[in-house]
Chains A and B, each alone.
Chain A
Amino acid sequence: MTEYRMCKRCVMDTSDPEITFDKNGVCNHCHTYDRLVREHIVDGEAGRQRLEKLVADIKRAGQGKQYDCVIGVSGGVDSTYVAYLVKKLGLRPLALHLDNGWDSELAVKNIEETLKRLEIDLYTEVLDWEEFRDIQSAFLKASTPDSEIPTDHAIVAILGNMAAKLGVKYILIGNNVRTETHLPSAWSEGHFDWKYIRELHKRFGTRPLKTFPHFGFFTYYMRMITQKRIAILDYVHYTKKEALRVLQEELGWRYYGGKHYESIYTRFYQGYILPVKFGYDKRRCHLSSLICSGEMTREQALEELEIPTYSPSMQEEDREYVAKKLGFSDEEFNTVMNAPKRSYWDYPSYGHFMEQPIIQAMIPSVKKVMALFQ
């Protein structure tokens, strides 16, 4: 057992099994943050020009088409702010929502209000619940700390599928450097890895996968070439505080508590299963990013971590609801909670494939070819 340690700059600690510290006690995530900010964030006049060029490119590529870009909407802060931003920039987005059966009333209300006010069309992909329930149950039984991967994978798939169907080149996503860089890969790995999802489901699922939106290795790389996924929040001075103000004042949007708590499952997964079973408090990485971006102090973050992830009575309510939806008895749920912890690397995946020496040797040349298409 390694000794407990926390980063001197942020609040990441040894609950990330792969964390490393430099001689000043600053963690690898902070260094990644600094590098990504350097590489991706352009401020001031240069930033304005970069945004202008992006908007011009999107408009040009979308000429004569009904929509010039697609965006995902979840009802949460980041995705709603993307919707607000693209409209303000004069773009013509189509909004996509993935309904995985766990939307809260707040989430659907936020989507309804903001899209109506912004006059953005909505397309919803509703996952077949019987099938998706089987996938989610399989992930819980597999005991990896990444049960949100199927949802994340499906979102990427439907955005890519819709863009392809509409002939739209640009997918604008809410991911951003400033508020979500500190996520350890050990906590959640393989979002783009269909083989991992499929194989894990094969072991722990009970019914065939027929309709789940996904993409394989080849499609993923083809789409890297033909489509552009743009983290547009990195193109503006994005802060949580300002985003919350704008959304609440201008869009009638309502806050729901923690990050991604707009989904009941996510709330329960991040607020209960991860801390209780795996010892991961996901707030640590979100708060750490906010410390690095200057939105809060380390003291404020430490104070916030003292508070429970969310109210224990609501956790209990959610636990009953999740068990009911997934069809778990109390006993089955306890079995899941007590099962030995596993990781992404315990199951077949593209990750294993990528580690083969011959593939490793090919990566640099593949990257060069890919660069030609960018």
Chain B
Amino acid sequence: MIRPRVIPALLLRGQGLVKTVKFKEPKYLGDPINIVRIFNDKEVDELVLLDITATPENRGPQFDLLKNITSEAFIPLAYGGGIRSMNDVRKLLSIGIEKLIMNTSAVENPSLIRETADHAGSQAAVVSIDVKKGLLGKYEVFTHCGQKKTWLDPVKHAVEMEKMGAGEIIINSIDRDGTMQGYDVELVRKVADSVQVPVVACGGAGNLFDVSEVIKQGHASAAAAGSIFVFQGPLRGVLISYPTPKELKEFI
């Protein structure tokens, strides 16, 4: 049996990497080139890189920076942020990005998912869904990096995206982001049980138990996490880490 993937999720803000809490309070982590290089040397399963200011700033991907980053990574790299056209998709693929993650575009221009899947295979077309709990406990989908409410239901949206050809769905809980209090297992399970494609849980991992739980109880195929791979100790000292193969085997 193949072990479920455990994926560091990195947030690009301008030229630097940051880690947020509930999509706010970005804490600077440093230069993406070196951080990706360290993760590469740690032989992580794959990396997720999200440019969190691209869509809010109404711009596309930073191709030059991404090229410098991909040249340091010999691991599968998934990128999201400001992908708005097939031109963007083709350019990203040509510089070595293996998976294209779409969030705002998936809501506003879902045919881009279809075209991406047709062009590069469905495994390359990834939809990420940012979810926040409303006042009445109802799950709601947000775009524009958590700034715009869409009134969509995450499960229905995920099913719709699968139909459009998405080969993977990332479910990201805005409420849990950076809190290290555990994944929203219920949310992940609802989505994972409604689609056939792999679902990646994101948002809230505080340790490897949480990762294991969202895979076992939440039926996620993979788990992405930020804080646990970039902070150490009670003061949240910035330090890149990743479990050893032995630790991964033990937990997951």
Contact = CB atoms under 8 A, between A and B. Distances in A.
A57 interface: no
Nearest to A120: B233
Contact of A130 (B15, B29, B33): B15
B30 A99 contact: yes
Given A108-B38, A115-B232, A123 B237 contact: yes
A108 B241 contact: yes
Given A97-B239, A103-B38, A108-B239, A121 B234 contact: yes
A168 to B, nearest CB: 14
Contact of A126 (B30, B68, B71, B233): B30
Interface in B223-252: 232-235, 237-241
Contacts of A97: 237-239
Contacts of B234: 121
A123 B239 contact: no
B240 to A, nearest CB: 5
B199 to A, nearest CB: 30
B74 interface: no
B71 A129 contact: no
Contacts of B16: 128-130
B41 interface: yes
Contacts of B186: none
A105 B238 contact: no
Given A112-B241, A126-B29, A325 B235 contact: no
Contacts of A264: 34
B71 A122 contact: no
Contacts of A102: 34
A288 to B, nearest CB: 32
A325 B237 contact: no
A233 interface: no
Contacts of A101: 30-31, 34
A360 B56 CA distance: 58
A109 to B, nearest CB: 8
Contacts of A95: 237
Nearest to A102: B34
Interface in A106-131: 108-109, 111-112, 115-116, 121-124, 126-130
Interface string B22-39: 000000111101100110
A121 B33 contact: no
B42 A105 contact: yes
Contacts of B37: 105, 321
A124 B237 contact: yes
A122 B232 contact: yes
Given A115-B232, A121-B233, A324-B71, A105 B38 contact: yes
Nearest to A127: B30
Contacts of B238: 97, 99, 124, 126
B195 to A, nearest CB: 36
A150 to B, nearest CB: 15
A239 interface: no
Contacts of B42: 105, 109
A129 B239 contact: no
A104 interface: yes
Nearest to A132: B31
Interface string A317-330: 00001001100000
A324 B64 CA distance: 11
A261 to B, nearest CB: 15
**Most chain A beta carbons < 10 A, residue from B29, B31, B41:** B31
A284 to B, nearest CB: 29
Contacts of A321: 37, 72
Contacts of A127: 30
Nearest to B29: A126
Contacts of A128: 16, 28
Contacts of B33: 324-325
Contacts of B41: 104-105
Sorted nearest first, the 8 A-B pairs with minimum C-beta distance are A122-B237, A105-B41, A129-B31, A124-B238, A124-B237, A101-B31, A126-B30, A105-B38
Given A103-B38, A123-B237, 9 more contacts: A99-B238, A105-B37, A105-B240, A112-B241, A115-B233, A121-B235, A122-B233, A124-B239, A128-B16
Interface of A: 94-95, 97, 99, 101-105, 108-109, 111-112, 115-116, 121-124, 126-130, 133, 264, 321, 324-325
16 contacts: A97-B237, A99-B238, A105-B42, A105-B240, A108-B240, A109-B241, A112-B241, A116-B232, A122-B235, A122-B237, A126-B30, A126-B238, A128-B16, A128-B28, A130-B16, A325-B33
Interface of B: 15-16, 28-31, 33-34, 37-38, 41-42, 68, 71-72, 232-235, 237-241
